[in-house]
Amino acid sequence: MADKDLHTLIRVRKWDVEEKQRALGVLLRREGDVLATQAALFDELAREKAFVSQAQPVQRLTFAPYLKQWDLRRENVEKALAEVRRLIDEAREELAEAYRNLKTFEVTQEARDAAAVAESERLEQIDLNEIGLTLHRRRAQA
């Protein structure tokens, strides 16, 4: 930090952004899994309805308890989906914040680099002017 270099901090911030991206990816995959579970649940209900429509009246008696259990499972899946989506929103906010922090350091470093280049060019121009003046004086003396 003594030489006003932020490259190490930028590297750490990039790593933080990448970690947050990975965490978001995990949550998005989890959301996909929950959605697949939800779709499978509705497919199962459709199969059961088709079976019951062709079943004997005695076999239809088990459908009402099945529907109660299916409804509980559906509610659990919906709760899980809502929780995952809440976590996804939080992860997106954390990722956005981490990215803003990274950009702050990158912009600051770019400004410092530009200032260092400008100072270097200014010093080089001073040296070239000095050389030019020295040559001019030598020619004028000769």
Closest among 132, 34, 104 to 76, alpha carbons compared: 34
How much is the pLDDT for 106? 93
Which residue, 80, 81, 77, 66, is CA-closest to 41? 77
The pTM (predicted TM-score) of the whole model is 0.75
pLDDT computed for residue 56 by the predictor: 86
Domains along the chain with CATH numbers: 7-141 (1.10.287.1700)
pLDDT for the residue numbered 1: 44
CB atoms within 10 A of CB 87: 16
Divide the 142 residues of the chain into consecutive groups of 10 and give the mean pLDDT of each group: 74 96 98 98 94 85 92 97 98 97 93 93 93 89 82
- CB of 100 within 8 A of CB of 40? no
| pLDDT given for residue 59 in this prediction | 80
What is residue 56's DSSP assignment? -
Q: Which of 78, 88, 84, 98 is CA-nearest to residue 19?
A: 98
